[in-house]
Structure 1
């Protein structure tokens, strides 16, 4: 384990929701969300549908188990690299009926959405949109993650990955105590949970291996680059992000280099050059340098079956 001395990063917890938005649409690097909606499976208690004319319909079940609908107009703004959807009215408190008491910290009219077009991610043959939705807490409030739904890529299997032979990870020491940015964070699609390399410099040459016992043949690596925080979006640009990586099949020895996009939205790397399912070794070759911290972060990285195109 390596230890870096760094200025403490200010982070707050925020309410999390992993949206799965379904539909059929034209593929593009910057696609229109109109016509797609979050489907509201258990345990998520509300439903979101994007409509034309910058409209969003949000519906939920109230305390009497009656479905309530409300139509909003939204404006899309940006905080750093993160799209912020600002509604024309606050979300009613009734939406939070049945949730934990801390949900009152999130009453407001804004949410962030990092999203990407996932090919055949639903029922084997339907395209969909996956992403991380974040509802920041009110000022001065803290609350833990609410839930996530792990993307499955049409396999019907629950993705289960192990991370081995990691060369380092960053340990942060602050007034709030010690925090480890361990490699296992790569399997958690929540905010403020990245893996951060732990050597002096930008982490060029740092390595780790992704392994799985699932039977499916994963042809892609699905990742979210950088440090993702709803309460402090500046951390994305202030920390380094991976720019170029080497992907090597541990069994076959086949190796290929890839350039990774500098975006917080979900994206994939095509590893179909590997002849069969095997453990995959990742090596950092180059980074997009951070403006403040000499650390390189990866928010999320798993093996995946289908292509994902980032929203932006």
Structure 2
């Protein structure tokens, strides 16, 4: 009996150890940010690069068009599902000299980051980053976008996508007026710009079609799930997110079900089963239910050419 109990205890301990190890892979980050950077383009370029040891370099062109840089250390914490990077000093006023005037209201030391690792594709020699950076709301002001970044590599200009045959969209009535969460929002990587289905219930069965003017072959759908807002991050969990979708080639008729991760970070769905480039019909089959609203949101969805691994 004693030997059996010892063996049983060993098995339980081994199982618990394996469970914890597997759990750490399930919830931990999939890649290290060190060595990767983000940039915004002219006329107000600035550059953010993560370094080892919780350090980050921010460089920019000041009002005199001189490039300057500063090294910060940071701490990372979470507001809901959103990683918040807190720097050890305020971002300099110089950085905002040429930016959108609304951004000049912000001289804080925090930014939120949703990001994914874009695996290298044809014409590229290294992996890249897809990301949306947001400045959280501060001193009663709304949050603002800090940057959005796409690695274009050998694919040329960002392609134009059209969204057709949408079965519904949500129209919100409030004291501030009417707001449409229309299907065209799916091509906008900014905060507070989701498409939200507009039927009673969770939107099971709702459909739309993605088409592109660029007829090169896209092997993936790139998406950001849910309602993304740095002003009100809890909206992600309060609203529904897509869980299972059907992807169907409009010409070939070939179709396949996919499970989508419940994360606001960029992720991809592999649609390489389609024989050639064609319009793609999306149908919602199941959702992660929201805690407050019976509405399902998708923040961003385009056709893409390479795999993207969500940060966490």
TM-score calculated relative to the size of structure 1: 0.87
The 1:55/1:11 distance shift into structure 2, 3 A limit, reads farther
Tell which deviates more after alignment, 93-102 or 290-299: 93-102
Q: Name which structure has the greater RCO, CA cutoff 8 Å, separation 6+.
A: 1
Tell which deviates more after alignment, 12-21 or 24-33: 12-21
Q: Is the 8 A contact 1:37 1:48 kept in 2?
A: yes
CA distance in 1, matches of 2:154, 2:238: 35
CA distance in 2, matches of 1:185, 1:107: 29
Unaligned runs of 5+ in 1: none
Tell which deviates more after alignment, 130-139 or 290-299: 130-139
1:261 partner SS: coil
How far apart are 1:17 and its partner, in Å? 41
Q: Is the 8 A contact 1:4 1:172 kept in 2?
A: no
How far apart are 1:141 and its partner, in Å? 2.3
Q: Is the 8 A contact 2:31 2:311 kept in 1?
A: yes
How far apart are 1:45 and its partner, in Å? 2.4
Tell which deviates more after alignment, 102-111 or 223-232: 102-111
The 1:306/1:167 distance shift into structure 2, 3 A limit, reads same
- In the other structure, the counterpart of 1:135 is 135
Q: Is the 8 A contact 1:15 1:146 kept in 2?
A: no
Unaligned runs of 5+ in 2: none
The 1:80/1:3 distance shift into structure 2, 3 A limit, reads farther
1:33 partner SS: coil
How far apart are 1:6 and its partner, in Å? 58
How far apart are 1:101 and its partner, in Å? 2.8
For these two proteins, the number of residue pairs brought into alignment is 312
Q: Is the 8 A contact 1:160 1:213 kept in 2?
A: yes
How far apart are 1:3 and its partner, in Å? 67
The 1:262/1:25 distance shift into structure 2, 3 A limit, reads closer
Tell which deviates more after alignment, 219-228 or 94-103: 94-103
2:306 partner SS: coil
1:39 partner SS: strand
CA distance in 2, matches of 1:14, 1:58: 45
Q: Runs of at least 4 residues of structure 1 off by over 3 A? A: 1-29, 121-125, 142-154
Tell which deviates more after alignment, 98-107 or 244-253: 98-107
CA distance in 2, matches of 1:158, 1:75: 34
CA distance in 2, matches of 1:14, 1:104: 55
Task: State the Cα RMSD in Å.
Answer: 13.2
How far apart are 1:113 and its partner, in Å? 0.5
CA distance in 2, matches of 1:226, 1:162: 20
The 1:138/1:16 distance shift into structure 2, 3 A limit, reads farther
The 1:288/1:158 distance shift into structure 2, 3 A limit, reads same
TM-score calculated relative to the size of structure 2: 0.87
Which of the pair has more CA radius of gyration? 2
2:28 partner SS: coil
CA distance in 1, matches of 2:89, 2:12: 24
Deviations 1:127-160 (A, max 9, x none): 1011100012422224776775555464103211
